[in-house]
Amino acid sequence: MRLLEALRAGSHSRIAFVGAGGKTTAMFSLARQLTAPVICLNTAHLAVEQAQLADKHWIIRDLSEIETIFRSPQVGVTLITGPGDSRGRLMRLEPAAAEKIKTYAVEYHLPILVEADGSRMLPLKAPAAHEPPIPAWVEQVVVVAGLSALGKPLTGQWVYQPEMFAQLSGAQPGQQILTRHLVAALLQPQGGLKNIPAGARRAVLANQLDVCSLPEDDLYRELLELTHEFDLVMAGSVRKGAAEQVKWRCEPVGGVVLAAGESIRMGTVKQLLPWRGKPLVRHVAEKALAAGLDPVVVVIGAAAEEIENAVAGLPVELVNNRNWESGQASSIRVGVQALEDRCGAAVFLLSDMPRVPVGLIEAELEIHRREPVEIIVPRVKGQRTNPVLFDRLTFAELVKLEGDTGGRALFDRHSLRWLDSEDAQDLLDVDTPADYQHLVDEGDDG
């Protein structure tokens, strides 16, 4: 996928790029993918030759010049910097200038991309005391790291400020740089996490995957640790063709178990019916956890106390939908609201589908990692079923649903991927006493 889809960037984006190993290339590549016009600026030094990546380059020496820029017609990609110096660098903009540019960009509904770090064009770096100068108004920070340095010695040939990188990573100067060293440095408050504004979405771009000699599966497993602190981890090669820039992205995907209804057709609260020694809702919550969904939210309403007892001891969050009688949409809404600031997607599970395969959920997660789709729907013999994965781009619409309207109302408005399954039995829900009896008979449950 392209950076545009991986970052979910749009006309109101305020994104800063820091780190090393291709951040300027990444910034201008994203700028080309956004709908023009786009504003780029630098709060750190920028090489003079890199200004050629913009359609128009403005050099400002005084705040009053900024108004002139925005009163002119904006087309393509506009770069705004300070003047050049004797070392072939464009000087950084002062905070007041960056703030004023942001104000105009907001007024004219223009996205802003910020080059907010310097690295002397090396693959890796450690930030100095004054770095990185990220504006407080930035809403997403992309920390770039060049994978071409892995396996190379920890020297100034591959790392900018190698002594500081050694302190952050636990590696010794001159030692071979391993993936665990890179991960350790990125997770340090004075390393990859440094100066990221509170509330900003945090992303890592492991760039130069095309020249990395490590097995991709091993690299993925080690980089996965970054999701403990970063909202999004991507691996790819920004210098490749646009469609191949991000080979995979990894981010927390939450699970929402819908368990608030009173089960009118069943005549009893079906979430609590026993099967194989456990209530149905507990089976579903355990499947969500086993698939790696995190966090897992169980939405309760009718029989709230009993369902809470049914999932006791599991690492799940309980959210009480006090308006459960208004229909399924209210449960979807409270589930999304419990996740929306933390997750890149959500898988919605029905509490009456205890046989849903863990492998099916994992297959949805794998598709979401590698394809820029917004909804993933399982299908058996042409019939849609559950659980359904919704990307965070759909969250704003999900919380506006009303009554008994479910997420299917969004299918025609978003990119949708069908996931075909052969086993209809595993994806049947329990709506009636006959359904439950069939489940019991199939499951050999006394």
Residue 445 has what pLDDT?
A: 45
- Rounded Cα distance between 65 and 33, Å, is 28
**Can you give the CATH number for the domain in which 382 is found?**
3.90.550.10
**Whether residue 22 has pLDDT greater than 70:** yes
56, β-bridge pairs: 78
What angle do the packed helices 179-186 and 216-223 form, to 10 degrees?
30
Give the residue from 231, 250, 269 where a domain finishes: 250
Q: Tell me, yes or no, whether 245 and 258 share the same domain.
A: no
Strand ranges, E, within 92-184? 112-115, 124-125, 140-146, 159-160
Residue 422, token pair as written in the block: 């052969």
User: For the chain, what is the radius of gyration of the CA atoms?
Assistant: 25
Q: Tell me, yes or no, whether 265 and 350 share the same domain.
A: yes
* pLDDT, tens digit, 9 for 90 and up, residues 135-156: 999 999 999 999 999 999 999 9
Cα dihedral 374, 10, 340, 388 in deg (nearest 10): 0
Q: Tell me, yes or no, whether 353 and 223 share the same domain.
A: no
Identify the three-state secondary structure at position 107: helix
* pLDDT, tens digit, 9 for 90 and up, residues 213-235: 888 889 999 999 999 899 999 99
Q: Tell me, yes or no, whether 246 and 268 share the same domain.
A: no
Q: Tell me, yes or no, whether 376 and 317 share the same domain.
A: yes
What is the number of domains present in the chain? 2
Which residue in the block uniquely carries the two structure tokens 């497993």? Answer: 221
Cα separations in angstroms, 113 against 27, 79, 80, 101, 138: 7, 9, 11, 11, 9
Q: Tell me, yes or no, whether 146 and 285 share the same domain.
A: no
What end-to-end distance do the CA atoms of the chain give, in Å? 49
Q: Tell me, yes or no, whether 127 and 27 share the same domain.
A: yes
Residue 212, token pair as written in the block: 């990395």
- Tell how strand 232-236 and strand 274-275 pair up: unpaired
- Tell how strand 375-380 and strand 416-421 pair up: parallel
Mean per-residue pLDDT, 245-269: 86
88 phi, psi to nearest 5 deg: 75, 25
Identify the three-state secondary structure at position 319: strand
Per DSSP, helices labelled H in 91-171 are 95-107, 162-169
Q: Tell me, yes or no, whether 246 and 324 share the same domain.
A: no
Give the DSSP letter of residue 177: P
Instruction: Return mean pLDDT, the chain.
Output: 92
Q: Tell me, yes or no, whether 225 and 273 share the same domain.
A: no
Q: Tell me, yes or no, whether 115 and 171 share the same domain.
A: yes
How many CB atoms neighbour CB 373 within 10 A? 20
Strand ranges, E, within 26-115? 38-42, 46-47, 56-59, 77-81, 89-90, 112-115
Q: Tell me, yes or no, whether 268 and 167 share the same domain.
A: no
* pLDDT, tens digit, 9 for 90 and up, residues 289-326: 999 999 999 999 988 899 999 999 999 999 999 999 89
What is the CB-side half-sphere exposure of residue 203 using CA atoms within 13 A?
28
Give the residue from 250, 267, 300 where a domain finishes: 250
Q: Residue 326: what residue type?
A: S
**Can you give the CATH number for the domain in which 161 is found?**
3.40.50
* pLDDT, tens digit, 9 for 90 and up, residues 77-94: 999 999 999 888 999 999
Q: Residue 159: what residue type?
A: V
**Whether residue 446 has pLDDT greater than 60:** no
Per DSSP, helices labelled H in 280-408 are 280-290, 304-310, 328-339, 358-370, 395-398
> Domain containing 362: what range?
253-443
* pLDDT, tens digit, 9 for 90 and up, residues 32-70: 999 989 999 999 999 999 999 999 999 999 999 999 999
Burial of residue 241, with CB atoms counted within 10 A of its CB: 0-12 exposed, 13-18 middle, 19 or more buried: exposed
Q: Which of 112, 118, 120 is nearest to 137 (CA)?
A: 112
**Whether residue 242 has pLDDT greater than 70:** no
Rounded to the nearest angstrom, the gap between the alpha carbon of residue 398 and the centroid of all alpha carbons in its chain is 18
Give the residue from 235, 250, 265 where a domain finishes: 250
Residue 421 has what pLDDT?
A: 84
Q: Tell me, yes or no, whether 314 and 243 share the same domain.
A: no
Assign 74 a pLDDT band (cuts: 50, 70, 90): confident
Rounded to the nearest angstrom, the gap between the alpha carbon of residue 127 and the centroid of all alpha carbons in its chain is 24
* pLDDT, tens digit, 9 for 90 and up, residues 428-439: 778 778 888 888
Which of the pair, 36 or 20, is modelled with greater confidence?
Answer: 20
74, β-bridge pairs: none
Instruction: Please check whether residue 257 is in contact with residue 285, taking contact to mean a CB–CB distance below 8 angstroms.
Output: yes
